[in-house]
Each structure stands twice: as structure tokens, then as C-alpha cells.
Structure 1
């Protein structure tokens, strides 16, 4: 009886592990693609210069692009080549892609410049500092495991769209 669950459990573990590794690699890609906007220190506070949402959005925008592609490609490859256990794979895709999105954010944030709001306290007025790599609405604390930015849904969205394609729209006869 126990043998019946070993194969699916190993497959699910493999899927989650692959997603986490891909999430870390995607975090490196995200940080490399992003160009940090700069800001100015004034009276111990850091201000984006020029101010405006379009100047601070690049980090979130690149995150969504990289996460959608990474999630989709990962789910497509895993869904295509692993044994067909749709329910097991779908649950593992969901869990793995959520973890991958979080890992991607934490790795990219850690590789990017430090938080200028903290650095601004020790700088003189009009010193220019680069922004840190962050997502709109996400907590950058490395010990916090939260999903409070809607951009974190990009990795699971890419993975689920690829899973729908592989499991529902491709022929069952491609594998025996």
C-alpha cells in the first residue's frame, strides 16, 4: 500500500525542488535585467528623483516578465517529460511556483543595492543613491514569508497556464 504513494511523492518533491532552483536563477536574471533608478537624500530621507510611479515600477515590471516566462517554461518542461500524474503535478506546480516566486524575489532583492532609505540617514543632503530592488507592496525582510504583492502571482500564473496547455490541450498519446 505504501509503495503506491512513493512515486507520486517523489515526483511532487522533484517538481517543488526544481521550481525553487529555477526561482533562484530567475532572481539572478531579474536583478541583471533591472536598472536601478536613483534618488536624492534630503534631511536624512531618500526621495526618488524624478518622482513618479513610472520611475519606480521597473523592478516590479521586470519581475512579472521574468516570473511569467520562468514559471511557464518550468511547468511546460516538467509537465511534458515527467510521468503523467496530473493531480500530483498540478498540486506540486502550485506549491513549487509560489515558493519559486518568493525565492526569486528574495534572491533578486538580496543581489540588488541596499535600501537607500536606511543609507540616507548617514548621508549629506543631495547625495545620489540608487534604489533597492523591490516589488510594489512586498516586504523585503529576508525572514518574512508573505505574499502581499500581486506581482508574486506571476510565477504561479505562468506555471498554471503552461500546465493547462500540457495537460489539457496536448494529446495523451504523446506518452505511453
Structure 2
């Protein structure tokens, strides 16, 4: 059994639901916190994710960072050596979707060798009647950036595990590719 550790940054504008998404994932979609305080720096959570069809496990160190620009200087140092990113936007906010480019560029600048497992998450599907970002638009942007796309509702506990399982599998795949490369050299 291989136990890997991956530093995963949750990034996106303030109030898109990053903290709610992490809490839903950590509680295995069993509990939604109704009251949140604004994240002013970084909160770190660790969650193991078993890799299907293997005995391996990836421990995701989830860095839930503030989406407020005024806190970015404080948050930036916590992003060093990031291995994965979970970009989150609110499907009812075009501005939060447009900001994903900035957040992704910042994370890629911190990734060793530029390799970064990543997902784009459109959150708040429970507010679909107020949607301003179409599924196809977000999916196309994500594919163009090499990211997998998911839509979730942390409030309704819908699909909250899928982005993190995808990140763990992608990180595990990157690990196996590096291992094969090293073994081919030796």
C-alpha cells in the first residue's frame, strides 16, 4: 500500500462556497454548516481518499484559502509547492467564473515543475434558476485549461465528493507516471 500526500489549494472568489464544499466532503455529505464566517487566511484540513482498484490512498491536505484580495499576500506563502487545485466559482456569478483565470495562474506559479492536478467546480446548483454561467461554457473553459469540470451544491450535499476523488486519482496517476519514468532510467 502506498500512502501519498498531496497539497491541494481551494481557490476562488469570496462567498463561492469553498468552505461549504470542504465541509461537505469531510463529512461525507452528511452535514451542511448553515453559518460560516469569512475565511481570512487559510484553514487546513486533511482527508484520506482511497484510490479505486488499488490498495493506495492519497491524503489530501486541503488549503481552504480566503477569496478576498486583501488577504492574498498572507495566503500566497501557504500555496508553495501546491500539487493540486480545486477552483470554485458560483454558477450565479459571472464575475466569480471570470476570476478563475487569475486564481489558476497564481496556483500554477507555485506548482513545482508546473504540473498541477486540477478541477473546476461550479457550486450552488441549488440556485440553478439564477444561473449566469452555462454548463457548456464552464466545461469548455475547464477543458482548455486541462481541468476536469464538476457542478455541485454544497447546500444540498450533491456531488461534493467527486471533485476531490478526481483530484486524488489525478495526483496518484501523476505519481505512477513519475515512478515509471524513474524505473525506466534505472
TM-score by length of 2: 0.26
Question: Which is higher, the Rg of structure 1 or of structure 2?
Answer: 1
Q: TM-score, normalised by structure 1?
A: 0.27
Higher helix proportion: 1
